[in-house]
Amino acid sequence: MSTTAVPLHPIAKGSLTRLWIGVAAIVLAAGGLAWAGQRNLEPSPATFLTQNAEADGVETTQSGLQFKVLEEGAGPSPTAQDVALVGYKGTLLDGTVFDENPQTAMPVDGVVPGFSEGLQKMKKGGKYRLWIPPQLGYGDQAAGPIPANSVLVFDVQLHDFKSRAEIMQMQQMMQQGAPPPPLPGN
């Protein structure tokens, strides 16, 4: 029986070291890219809301709206038929501000369902933080700077509210030349 020998050429000095250094560099680069990619990932809306529901002071309604009372107000709460005078700041989960107004009047039933529900829980002078799930916000529709399926975060202060009948009466008085009654919150 004969053995066939394959001639092996000697490896150049330092080649094996360069090979291992190259493998280590590729592993480090891949790890760095994976870490950088994970840093910018936000949790899904469902994951965020599940985790947020466990935070201190956060309450979740039957519809899925989450809110936290930052400062309790006093008196009655507005109804869907009222016009509220509010100050608010709306952000996305990453902190991007998409809307802000220190004082504006809005019909309670003229906003996204989650915001309307939150307003109806508040009392005059109260400050709340609302986390509005996508199904109570804009859902799978993008709205300006708000991407589809976004959780909306609002810090809201309810300055005052009036019924639509009171607003109509004030408008009629102004049209007749009578001095306007004081605006809500003044």
* pLDDT category of residue 184 using cuts at 50, 70 and 90: low
Q: Walk me through the domains of the chain, giving residue ranges and CATH numbers.
A: 45-175 (3.10.50.40)
Residue 41: Cβ-neighbour burial (10 angstroms; 0-12, 13-18, 19+): exposed
Containing H/E element for 117? helix 113-119
Give the up-direction half-sphere exposure of residue 88: CA atoms within 13 A in the CB hemisphere. 24
Q: What percent of the chain has pLDDT over 90?
A: 64
pLDDT in tens, 17-48: 888 888 888 888 888 887 776 655 678 999 99
The C-alpha R_g of the chain, in whole angstroms, comes to 30
* pLDDT value, residue 43: 82
3-state SS, residue 43: coil
pLDDT for 95-142, tens place per residue?
Answer: 999 999 999 999 999 999 999 999 999 999 999 999 999 999 999 999
- 155 band by pLDDT with thresholds 50, 70 and 90: very high
> What distance in Å separates the CA atoms of residue 67 and residue 107, rounded to the nearest whole number?
20
Q: Is the pTM of this model over 0.75?
A: no
Please check the confidence at residue 56 and state whether its pLDDT lies above 70.
yes
